[in-house]
Amino acid sequence: MLMNVAIIGFGNAVVNYHFPYLDKKENIRVKMIYRREEDRVGDTERESLYPEITFSTNIEDILQDDEIELIVIATHVDSHVEYAKLALERGKHVLVEKPFASTSAAAKDIFELANRKNLIAMANQNRRFDGDFLTLKKVIESGKLGNIVEIQSHYDYFHPQYARSGFGLLHGLAVHTIDQLISIYGVADRIEYDVRSLIAPGESDDYIDIDFRYGRMKATIKCSLLVKIEHPKFIVHGDRGSFVKYSSGHQTKNGDGRTRVSIEAEPENNWGTISYVDDEGTSHTEKVPSEATDYGVLYDQLFQAIRHNGDKPVKDEEVLYVLDILHDGIEAAKRAN
């Protein structure tokens, strides 16, 4: 049976990371989008690309619609809590863009309300379904690298003129890669922060280097706005070998004005490389076929959780832990400056 969805917000995340994957779902339909009147000024042309969706500037239209089961909140983080609580109070499940809330305490309030209402509130950690990350997981799970001793995860750009004040790189970029790590290894034994302002001293978190220790293994999350040459997305070392993978990017196209996606594995020229020694001591160097990126899988799993009491793909405790890490990283940046 069809599940009707409403979305609050109509920014790039909705257009590029929700719609293209929902377009492919036969059991999920975006029925309505709520936009504030001030957000529509000078920006109504894009709405015409989606004639099958009703756009409204009255939030009661989605809250009072009994057909709508799930509300996706894709606004600025400052309004996530307000909209999530409003939707839950009116009996709607909610999927909230990352970062889920400004603090873990605020997020906990949302989860507790959802539990009392017997509803689902979940963070949209769709980057767990990035093709390059799924390829990394496949390699780790294969056991070919032996005991993993080091993982490097990079999310870099080159923006030396970046002058925006405010602490936003952790929340905007590192939240993806931190969550990916936590989804595999869970709570770290300890965390060491090196978060600084290199471009706008004292005003931002534009350099991120966070070490997560899991026994003998160290996983490093790195984000920087001062990386000019493309760096591998993932570097993994184990006591039997190493793995390197460059970013898969996003396989999008824009032929008719709407963003479209191709849910296919990337070509061989960007596959990762693994070099390892097997049980007999023989050395191997191989290309690792890439997994496909498909953010729609998160919706499939959420559908199962809502309709068939399935497990939530993103756990409450994972969301709270990531938010605490983001908070501690910002505090480290402020101290460093």
Give the per-residue pLDDT at 53: 97
CA 151 – CA 181 distance, rounded (Å): 9
Q: Does 151 lie in the same domain as 63?
A: no
Q: ∠320-324-330 over CA atoms, to 5°?
A: 145
Give the per-residue pLDDT at 270: 95
Eight-class DSSP state of 26: S
Helix (H) or strand (E) holding 236: strand 234-238
Stated pTM of the model: 0.94
In a domain, 213, yes or no: yes
17 CB contacts (<8 Å, ≥6 apart)?
126, 295
pLDDT tens digits, one per residue of 138-192 = 999 999 999 999 999 999 999 888 756 667 889 989 999 999 999 999 999 999 9
**Cβ distance 131 to 291 under 8 Å?**
yes
- The neighbour count for residue 20, using CB atoms within 10 Å, is 22
In a domain, 204, yes or no: yes
Q: Which domain holds residue 238?
A: 127-296+325-336
In a domain, 320, yes or no: no
Which two three-digit tokens encode residue 185? 């290894």
Characterize the bridge pairing of strands 283-288 and 272-277. Answer: antiparallel
At which residue do the structure tokens 């049976």 appear? 1
The CATH number covering residue 87 comes to 3.40.50.720
Question: Mean of the pLDDT values across residues 106-117?
Answer: 98
User: Quick one: which of 27, 111, 126, 23 has its CA closest to 74?
Assistant: 126
CA 71 – CA 84 distance, rounded (Å): 8
User: Quick one: which of 30, 21, 37, 75 has its CA closest to 54?
Assistant: 30
In a domain, 9, yes or no: yes
Give the per-residue pLDDT at 250: 74
pLDDT tens digits, one per residue of 258-297 = 888 888 889 999 999 999 999 999 999 999 999 999 999 9
CA 259 – CA 55 distance, rounded (Å): 18
Q: Does 109 lie in the same domain as 210?
A: no
